[in-house]
Chain A
Amino acid sequence: MSERTTKVHLNREHCRKLLHQMLRIRRFEEKCAELYTQEKIRGFLHLYIGEEAVATGVMEALDPDDAVVATYREHGHALLKGVSADAIMAEMYGKQEGCSRGRGGSMHLFDAATRFYGGNAIVAGGLPIAVGLALADKLAGRDRVTACFFGEGAAAEGEFHESLNLAALWRLPVLFVCENNLFAMGTALELSESETDISAKAASYSMNSEAVDGMDVVAVEVASRRAVAAIRKTGAAHFLECRTYRFRAHSMYDPQLYRAKEEVEEWKDKGPILRFRKWALNAGGLREEDVEEVEAEVDREVAEAVAFAEAGTWEPVEDLMRDAGAEKRI
């Protein structure tokens, strides 16, 4: 592969982009939380705040034609894959201008144009889908990668092990990205796994596997670029465990009885945006005016998304059965 895909050049433009992407997720979701308390957004809302470096770093390594399969904590992945903030916010509102026409909501964002395959709310249920997408690419001779995101809780599911085995056995171009935020909802990793090193489980399937600091966007990007380049070269699956932390509750209903406030505060001090901004400013990768401009751009994008969602329309109830099945066979 070319150097373009394997090296990370931390020039001003790239630093600005990384900050911008992480902030897009952060501000978008902060707005979602606010809208949730106003009851504009209902149902479950799972925020990714604290974990932004993972989606940001991985997405830098993907091409537009690569596929992404994500979980119910996927607003950031959808945004960075290229789904518009407008369409995502409208979906959160349940409006028909939403990226899933209001049928999916927060947990089921989909977008065919950017090859964003959900929005899967059964833990580990997306892994076999990713295996299948990659199998289709292999059988059709297409040079594309499928990136599949999931939490460490998925490692307790059979589908995790079945999928890793299939992808390794059949040499399929899948990048498995484990977002290890240490809690499966409220159950700590050490309370649910006999082996808490998730990357070691993946390695046991004869798959290239590594763990990185998921709070460090540059580390994630470097590892992702290396992994994706290897996948494109060899066709073989790769596993990346990103060790991270969720700053907010599991969902809006979670009183967080299972962890200490101090622990959350300690992790916030190591937050990916705080850390990267501080480093980049010190290292000369970013200037104060860059940060201000990026903040302003993001605020504008989020405000426009809210306006778009507010102006959106409700699908007529008569259309309830639309897309329950195909109109006719082809």
Chain B
Amino acid sequence: MPKREDIQKIMVIGSGPIVIGQAAEFDYSGSQACKALREEGYKVVLVNSNPATIMTDPEMADRTYIEPLTAEIVAKIVEIETPDAILPTLGGQTALNIAVQLGEMGVLEKYGIELIGAKLEAIKKAEDRELFKKCMKKIGIDVPKSDIAENVEEALSIAEEIGYPVVVRPAFTLGGTGGGIAYNREELKEITSHGLEMSMINQVLIEEGVIGWKEFELEVMRDLADNVVIICSIENFDPMGIHTGDSITVAPAQTLSDVEYQLLRDYSISIIREIGVETGGSNIQFAVNPENGRVVAIEMNPRVSRSSALASKATGFPIAKIAAKLAVGYTLDEIPNDITKETPASFEPTIDYVVVKIPRFAFDKFPAAKSILGSQMKSVGEVMAIGRTFEEALQKALRSLEIGIYGLELKKNIASANIDIVRFMLRTPNADRIFYIKRAIELGISVDEISKLTCIDKWFIDKIKNLVDFENYLKKLANNINNISDLDSEEIRSALIKAKKLGFSDLQLSKIFGLSESEIRSLRKKFGISAVFKMVDTCAAEFEAKTPYYYSTYEDENEVKKSENRKIMILGGGPNRIGQGIEFDYCCCHAVFSLKEDGYETIMVNNNPETVSTDYDTSDKLYFEPITSEDVLNIYENEMPEGAIVQFGGQTPLNIAKKLEEGGVKILGTSVDSIDIAEDRERFSELCRKLNIPQPENGIAYSVDEAIEVARKIGYPVLVRPSYVLGGRAMEIVYDEQALIRYMEEAIDVSPEKPVLIDKFLEDAIEVEVDALCDGEEVIIGGIMEHIEEAGVHSGDSACVLPPQSLSKEVIEKIIDYTRKMALELKVVGLINIQYAVKDNTVYVLEANPRASRTVPFVSKATGLPLAKIAAKLMCGKKLRDLGVKERLKLKHIAVKEAVFPFIKLPEVDPTLGPEMKSTGEVMGIDYDFGLAYYKAQLAAGMKLPEKGTVFISVKKSDREKIVEVAKKLKELGFKILATNGTAKFLKEHGIEAEVINKISQGRPNVLDAIINKKIDLIINTPSGKGGKTEGYMIRRAAVDYGIPYITTISGARAAVMGIEAIKRGKLSVKSIQDYHKELTN
């Protein structure tokens, strides 16, 4: 069937901010969809609140709305744009939920809008557990026993019938929010009440716990002619009971015979037909009993999912792109396979390599969170690796994680764990389980026992045993080496070949052999052992592939065709994690786009399957590889580009920049030495002194005593942090000596190699952040952002506004001046981000990062200046004046960026802000008034500020003065104020009436009851900074768990008041980013 001519304008809904369970994969799928639809001549209207995405680039759609993703707002956009159709299946659960709501609100009917991809009925059938079960029964497919509960009592009686353990699954949530596994009544009560809260329809499913069964996923595509193909099968290394997003997964399925696989395939086809997903990709999950092969269908996502992105990257088959084309009427056989160009998309990819995906967790950021895994997803990112053996893919994936290991290596605590701990950790699903499996093998626990304890298939355990056995063999070999000439033997040569085939990195081998990494590399080269590159081609080499998408391995044939073009390598950012997210992928993609414009051949290296950068048609050549110096050098030597760009992938490529340079790589743009100046404390201080730019007083301490001395000299409060970590890890604000001593003794491990950095903490200072471009001669300010939260809150976690709202002209000029001076002094070529603190009209520089920053996409969207694109050109030798770039410091509109936090997924964590970054994503609110822009940003971040009702205020003593004005405003705005004794008394003294409510410790009814009973509409609570399970913690936690808007800083409260004021005064309106930008250029 040809494409549909009866529709012209299609709305694509994105997935909003990056949160646990919904990450960059939807930028990838949404961007592909936009491209595919426009290629077909359709007008595309895009809605997404996340400015860090490629899809919200103004070039990606005809009209782009960076507005909050709520049904009400989307309805407003629909009213303006009146699209003919909405494609809701490419923006994750968020888009699907909004589509359902638009249907229920009658918006679709009113404007005659068709849902393409999946109709409302199909979405409901897949999402509503009870309907899904009915459908499965109808087509004779087994499902776990289950029943719906709408309250705790019902849940308990259902569980009695089914038997424990049971899985609690809230209906209509994303990433399993609020779900869990209950092994007893008490757990069930707790999980159910939480789950009911989380469910959009206050329903949970109580389900037979098929815990320990094997889990498989199939990616299915269907077209309007009812053709169905399976794109990929995925086997979970981890058994049922662990969220698939948190599982190590492998493609294709490894332990299924054809008989069993075809059964799953038949089921998948019947399911997609019965549910009625008309076109596009769906993901279907199955559990298989390893004892007898019994299969139950677990769930179906009637949309493109995280697994679809993985399946696309694993096979080369662009699921999202094809899904978009099918949605407008094409059939699979009418669409060519992009990789082969000659064969059609109506086939099933077959692969001749092994793909391993490993999730990246952030438990180091949340010491309070339990690292136990269950049905609620906790990981924040993932890596994928490709190899010709499972062991190779596994070790490549492990070193891609960037957690300080370069293969299957053990961290200290695990390497010394005793057998009891190991057995316990094998039984309890946790983020480190793969390492405990290795330890278990070292301790002599049998493969069978490990498999029994973990419920992980023996096949996988056996492969890990292979690695342990081979490592032991290597160690034995290493022991027999007495001098360098002993290395020159056939035994060593064949051991090295085998090691490389099993995915051992040179660094791993260097540790085993007691040599340096470069010595291993030279030895390897002397033996003629080099990486070769093979293609991902969807067809196992049956057809010639036209799209160069490669992975490395150690075999005979190298398939890379070296071109004579001018080419540049761009290093990506690796897995998403807190502190380094999609923003850096955005920058990498822009570098690619920009250099392509200039006629370069672009070579992308990255390992994050969620991203746009790892899409086969983003760069000219894609290498899906770990970003370590060894792996990058292999590619570099193979391609010999003009240079490599390390500025855009966040800390990942910067960390290896020096080694790359030593290995012969030409680093483009700002020099490695300049990067070092910025990162080295002492060198940076020297630079500031030279330029006469104030820095907060600071010092370095190599012992506890020194720390005390430095702090005394500087004066409290001080900001302390270890020198060797990044992203605010273990950073703390310390108010007195006692706290300093506690920090030094408990939190960190100070030593001459690992000194502690101590800074004067500027209380109540305003933080300002600048992104600037420099070509070595001239500096262009990209944007100046004023943080909403005061200094002390990590810049990545603070909301910020562009242009600044409260800074004087004089201060802004000073900031611009300092920025120019520093950029020029550092000889920056490309981007630089500088953070300042402003206190009493003095501007202090806090830090400078001569690289793309987290705020680059935000600034670019707000100002229309494509900073990353310009920077890429500068790095390749162009000058700002050649490019005609003009500063855009004056805007007609105001843009607010707000951070989004994962607290809801991490039930033990205190939802407060501090020097350590905790947010996973960001949103942008844009309007002509600060209040409205701020209100929109809050709304987009999931916090709907109330327009009336009751505000509960409880602040620490030192904040009482500051809250008075806020309370007064709230009162004026008609809010009732509720406060605990102390705060209430203080407010009363300042003439503000506040009703007193019991603290939790004062008996009942108390503030917690009021929160649970929804008697409170907004909570303002500033933490005392004591930590632990205080009263404040319980209040904040309840706010998160019960979805009550809450604010934990005074400055946040002030901004919120302005937001509320604005929304009461004005009306929320929407406007496309193209329109905002037009006003700037006119």
Q: Do A and B come from one complex?
A: no
Binding site for B on A (CB under 8 A): none
Binding site for A on B (CB under 8 A): none
